[in-house]
Structure 1
Amino acid sequence: MEYTWTNSEIKQTVKKLLLANGLSQRLLNQIRRGGGEVIVGTKPCKLTTMVACNQAVTLKLPNENNDDIVAAQGKLTILYEDKNWLIVDKIAGMTTVPGPSNRETTLVNYVKGYLVESGSDDLVPHIITRLDRFTSGIVLIAKNKVAQGMIDKIDRKDFEKYYLAIVEGNLLSGHAIINKPIGRKDSNIRREVMSGGKKAITEYWVKNRIGDNSLVMVKLHTGRTHQIRVHFDSIGHPLLGDKLYAGNLDRMTRQALHAFKLKFLDPFTQKYIEVECDLPEDMLQVLKK
């Protein structure tokens, strides 16, 4: 992969220029160890080389691949794609990343298969917004390590994730913020609200009331594991179908949670990218009844 930046400031080092443009210190360390090349003008240079105003700096990195990740063939619903980003609509039931129980049919495997078919030079999908297996909706993927490092450095206010969830009962307030720390006991997969947990903030708006249930739009202000599921369970309104958090299983066989909107500032263009995706059929059927 290859990227070029032009120094618009006074004379400065290559390192300062790259850091100012969002590259991670981890990537710079990789370059310093020989895992990449920096060109100023027409000559390879070091990170300590001084760059004059209006002078271009080109970063060249080796193509990415990981032979441990199997490329799988499968249909992907692509919502957005450019040189650096791939945004897809993940179906409920699909695991996001390979693990001990599944190394061949996860979202990462299908994305790698797609990248191979597309003739991409970089074949390692970097998952930015990971979803639980039974949560459906938008997943953002960086197509290379440069994009991954840059998106990690943008301000949280420039990265917004919204979900739609169907919860049990009728929420009294049409809009509220749940601010409760979340942690877990020992190695239990189940998370809980606890005094010693990590800060967790969830904002929600009631969009519709369907019998004894409510459709809510949710915005995450933090990113804790199971955050939405834990927070709604903590206020007595677990998600339908959420077996782990005592949700009603009569009308849904998985947690009724869908990542439907993503908006973020693209660090390469300094413009916002915004995508939405429709509710899946199983959640629509609940809303129709």
Structure 2
Amino acid sequence: MTAARDTLIRRSFQVDPAFAGRRLDQALASLAPEFSRSRLQQWIEAGQVLVDESPCRCRDKVWGGESVRIEAVCVLDQGCLAQDIALDLVHEDDDILVINKPAGLVVHPAAGNPDGTLLNALLHHAPALAGVPRAGIVHRLDKDTSGLLVVAKTLTAHKSLVDQLQQRTVHREYRALVLGELVAGGRVEAPIGRHPVHRTKMAVVGNGRPAVTHYQVLERYPGHSLLGVELETGRTHQIRVHMTHIHHPLVGDRTYGVRPRPPQGCDPALTSALQSFPRQALHALRLGLVHPATGEPMEWEVPMATDLDALLELFRQEPGA
């Protein structure tokens, strides 16, 4: 177990006359596209960007011919350790990692989970990730959600993936086992924000951020349905909150769901499995995106998580399923 080291970033440019009259942060965003504009602005304001060896402000204009030098430190969160934690790698190249995350693995250190997370595992697997924001993690899965997640290995890949997520072009498809027998698929468009009373929870609230979830019915069982769910946006706990909002909470969701409801007269094995299922029944099955370096559309799919697959098999054995 080792501490992750901060990474020193050094870049030098000469401003092209084509940028004459533009703000420094705007010109720099074009000269150094591997960095986000907000990160460049932070470095400029911190004096880590020099123009002709002098610090400047973001709004200062450039006129062409200036020498620009970046000397900045990418600081990883204090206490982030590289830990030898097994990773189920679905794909890896010089730019990205695609991981099949098991249920129970926290993605990023936080209060109550200072280590033993996916981030710690990534720093051990690829130490250079210490120089990428959040060790390359651009989106998350809840601790108890299993399935696919992409990680950027370079700053250029990080910016590309963040842009794709913001433009809603990353395809994310889930499987969700919910309470109730839905008749048809649909679309949930309801803003999500912090719960007004229970601050550790999210909720549909009028002043929340826009959130859109699409779902289709794949299988129906007594009192339950298996859904294919696709995200148009990526809000915290979005699927869990939206499914509860339409009165079809996820099986096993202790935060947003209800007590287990075994079908009347079902096999005792199914009753036991439902009552003891330890997590929300949600699995990120499929992930599609444009490769940051090649521009090639790529897609991955993983099998259903073992525990959820076993529960579904019990449902399929029920009469009328």
TM-score per shorter chain, which class? Answer: 0.7 to 0.9
Query: In the superposition, relative to structure 1, how do residues 2 and 258 fare at CA in structure 2: closer, same or farther (>3 Å)?
Result: farther
User: 2:283 corresponds to which letter in structure 1?
Assistant: H
Query: In the superposition, relative to structure 1, how do residues 207 and 63 fare at CA in structure 2: closer, same or farther (>3 Å)?
Result: same
User: 1:18 corresponds to which letter in structure 2?
Assistant: L
Distance in 2 between the 1:257 and 1:36 partners? 45
CA deviation after TM superposition for structure 1 residue 223, in Å: 1.6
Matched with 2:55 is: none
Matched with 2:136 is: 126
Q: 2:31 aligned to 4, 8, 18, which one?
A: 18
Q: 1:270 aligned to 295, 314, 317, which one?
A: 295
Matched with 2:188 is: 178
Distance in 2 between the 1:121 and 1:94 partners? 20
Question: Which structure features the higher share of helix residues?
Answer: 2
Matched with 2:306 is: 281
State yes or no: 1:189 paired with 2:209: no
Matched residue count: 270
Query: In the superposition, relative to structure 1, how do residues 254 and 16 fare at CA in structure 2: closer, same or farther (>3 Å)?
Result: closer
The answer to whether the 8 A contact 1:181-1:194 is kept is: yes
Distance in 1 between the 2:205 and 2:98 partners? 34
- Farther-moved stretch of structure 1 (209-218 vs 144-153): 144-153
State yes or no: 1:137 paired with 2:147: yes
Distance in 1 between the 2:109 and 2:76 partners? 15
User: 1:256 corresponds to which letter in structure 2?
Assistant: A
Distance in 2 between the 1:113 and 1:107 partners? 10
The answer to whether the 8 A contact 1:23-1:150 is kept is: no
Distance in 2 between the 1:190 and 1:16 partners? 36
User: 1:274 corresponds to which letter in structure 2?
Assistant: E
Query: In the superposition, relative to structure 1, how do residues 146 and 121 fare at CA in structure 2: closer, same or farther (>3 Å)?
Result: same
User: 2:114 corresponds to which letter in structure 1?
Assistant: R
Distance in 2 between the 1:69 and 1:130 partners? 17
The answer to whether the 8 A contact 2:129-2:135 is kept is: no
Query: In the superposition, relative to structure 1, how do residues 176 and 285 fare at CA in structure 2: closer, same or farther (>3 Å)?
Result: same
Matched with 1:72 is: 83
Query: In the superposition, relative to structure 1, how do residues 67 and 182 fare at CA in structure 2: closer, same or farther (>3 Å)?
Result: closer
TM (normalized to structure 2)? 0.71
The answer to whether the 8 A contact 1:166-1:239 is kept is: yes
Compute the RMSD of aligned alpha carbons. 3.4
User: 1:128 corresponds to which letter in structure 2?
Assistant: V
Distance in 1 between the 2:241 and 2:50 partners? 46
Distance in 2 between the 1:186 and 1:144 partners? 40
The answer to whether the 8 A contact 1:78-1:87 is kept is: yes
CA deviation after TM superposition for structure 1 residue 246, in Å: 2.5
TM (normalized to structure 1)? 0.78
Over residues 199-221 of structure 1, what are the superposed CA-to-partner deviations in whole Å (9 max), with x where a residue is unaligned? 22110011112332211111111
- Farther-moved stretch of structure 1 (161-170 vs 151-160): 151-160
Over residues 128-174 of structure 1, what are the superposed CA-to-partner deviations in whole Å (9 max), with x where a residue is unaligned? 1211111111122122444323322235242121111111121111x
Query: In the superposition, relative to structure 1, how do residues 230 and 189 fare at CA in structure 2: closer, same or farther (>3 Å)?
Result: same
The answer to whether the 8 A contact 1:24-1:150 is kept is: no
State yes or no: 1:240 paired with 2:251: yes
Query: In the superposition, relative to structure 1, how do residues 37 and 163 fare at CA in structure 2: closer, same or farther (>3 Å)?
Result: farther
CA deviation after TM superposition for structure 1 residue 176, in Å: 0.7
Over residues 103-126 of structure 1, what are the superposed CA-to-partner deviations in whole Å (9 max), with x where a residue is unaligned? 22111111111114xx77847612
Matched with 1:99 is: 110
Query: In the superposition, relative to structure 1, how do residues 137 and 176 fare at CA in structure 2: closer, same or farther (>3 Å)?
Result: same
State yes or no: 1:168 paired with 2:179: yes
Structure 1 residues 9-48: aligned runs within 5 Å: 11=18, 15=28, 17-18=30-31, 21=33, 23-29=35-41, 32=44
Query: In the superposition, relative to structure 1, how do residues 60 and 207 fare at CA in structure 2: closer, same or farther (>3 Å)?
Result: farther
Q: Which runs of 5+ in 1 are unaligned?
A: 4-8, 39-46, 52-58
CA deviation after TM superposition for structure 1 residue 188, in Å: 2.1
Secondary structure of 2:312 counterpart: helix
